[in-house]
Amino acid sequence: MPGPDGTPPAPVAGLTAVPVTGIETAIAERWRALAHTMARPRAHARVMTMLVRVEDDAATFAVFDTVKQLAGKHPIRVISVGYNARLANGVRAWVNAGCAGDDPRAVCSEEIVLQGGQTAGDCLLSAVRGLLVPDLPVLLWWRGPDVGASPLWSGLAGLSDRIIVDSSDFGAQALQVLHRVVGEVGAGGRRAVRDLNWQRTAPWRAALATCFDDRAVLAMLDALDRAVITFSAEDASAPPSVRAQLVAGWLCRCVNGLQRHCSVVPGPHWSRDVGVGRVVSIALTSSRSKASLLLVRKVGPTRIDAQACEGTGGHIVRRWSFPAATLTEAELLDGCLSSLGSDPVFEAALQAALVLS
């Protein structure tokens, strides 16, 4: 229900509408009220401000669900920012603050929602600027494909130390868009870009690294000069998935000489069990011997099974099974929150993927 002054209804339950100028006061009051219900008074720890660009109203629920999970693990101030077509002008704000978990491990976070009409970009930015937690890192989670194009982009990116995007939203030119964003944002070295789509390849990369931790398998590496990365696709003519391309780029960057024989191929029969675009297998083979390393996604339970074969007879010398449960958006973001600075391996993999494509 709209509020008495025509304020739109709270985007999700539990938020209280407040004027923008009253946000800090409202949060402070909320803490004071909560203090009476807590076993003992506490000093609030905060580790960062997280800005979330919400692409549209429909996304609000999904965003809040993810943010709730994060806020339960990290004491953060989350400010979500988006346009609302129903608002003519100006900025509306809602706040909430609360703790998750039991004392003394309760994690206390603050949520602020800012919405503005289509022309309120500057007002939204000015509101955000006044709400950043002093001195602590600012992280921007940019949702949606219009990275670079939205008037909010440069303003929010300019306030942030780390920017998280999801290249699986970027469509046909995903690698190029990603490359542009990394170039723009990373220039000057103060800010870093993280890609949730790259983060999703972490189980594959960890599995492959572990296979090569075995000295016998590492000794075969010189012979392995061909790579095929298969991704789940709707049909055999599907364009390469950006996730598989990033894995291909990473492989080529790790192994000299692989570029010429590294391919990303669709695996249509996989799409029954596995979401389209996901990596389903990595095969490293040799043109000179029977040496190979094959990693394949399996379901029930979700895992990556791997086997290495020696070069002479092609006999299996090692087998592994790596648990690889699908990571939720909150877990992916959590990974981005926990790692600091830029990710040179990702940036090099992206460069190599562009060359391959």
Partner 1 sequence: MAATTLVNPFREGISLEGATHPVQLVIFGASGDLTRRKLLPAIYNLVQASLAPPAFSVLGFARQKMTDDDFRNLLSQAVAESGEVRVRDAQALERLRERTHYLPGDFQDAGAFATLKTMLDAFDKQYGTGGNRIFYTATPASLYGGIAAQLHHAGLITPPGGDGGFVRMIVEKPFGRDLASAKALNAELLRYMSEEQIYRIDHYLGKETVQNILVLRFANGIFEPVWNRRYVDSVQITVAESIGIEGRGNFYEETGVVRDVIQNHALQLMSLVAMEPPLSFDARDFRAEKIRVLEAIRPIAPDDVPRVAVRGQYGPGSVAGERVCGYREEPNVNPVSLTPTYAALALGIDNWRWAGVPFYIRSGKRLPKRITEIALQFKEAPHLPFRKSQIETPGGNVLALQIQPDEGISLKFDAKVPGPTMRIRAVEMDFTYGETFGSKDASPYERLILDCMKGDQTLFDRADGVEAAWAIVDPILAVWEADTKVAFPNYAAGTWGPPEADELLARDGRSWRRL
Residues in touch with partner 1 (CB under 8 A):
42-45, 47, 72-75, 100-101, 103-108, 202, 205-206, 208-210, 212-215, 218-219, 221, 254-255, 301, 318-323, 343-346
| Minimum distance, C-beta of residue 118 to partner 1, in the bound complex (Å) | 38
Token pair 């996989």: residue: 270
Identify which of residues 93 and 304 has a Cβ nearer to partner 1 in the complex. Answer: 304
What is the nearest approach in angstroms of partner 1 to the Cβ of residue 90? Answer: 36
Q: Are 91 and 128 in contact (CB under 8 A)?
A: no
Of 104 and 188, the one with the shorter C-beta distance to partner 1 is 104
Q: Under a CB-based contact definition with an 8 Å cutoff, are residues 46 and 136 in contact?
A: yes
> Smallest gap, in angstroms, from Cβ of residue 132 to partner 1?
19
Least Å distance between CB 209 and partner 1? 4
Tell me the closest approach of the beta carbon of residue 113 to partner 1, in angstroms: 23
b/e 7-31 (16+ beta carbons within 10 angstroms → b) = bbebbbeebebbebeebeebbeebb
State the nearest-atom distance from the C-beta of 316 to partner 1, in Å: 10
- Looking at beta carbons only, is 143 or 205 nearer to partner 1? 205
Tell me the closest approach of the beta carbon of residue 105 to partner 1, in angstroms.
3
Question: Shortest distance, CB of residue 110 to partner 1, whole angstroms?
Answer: 14
Q: Which is nearer to partner 1, 84 or 109 (CB)?
A: 109
Between 237 and 338, name the residue whose CB sits nearer to partner 1. Answer: 338
Whichever of 109 and 115 has its CB closer to partner 1, that residue is 109
Q: Which is nearer to partner 1, 37 or 237 (CB)?
A: 37
Judge contact between 147 and 177, C-beta under 8 A: yes
Nearer to partner 1, 47 or 123 (CB): 47
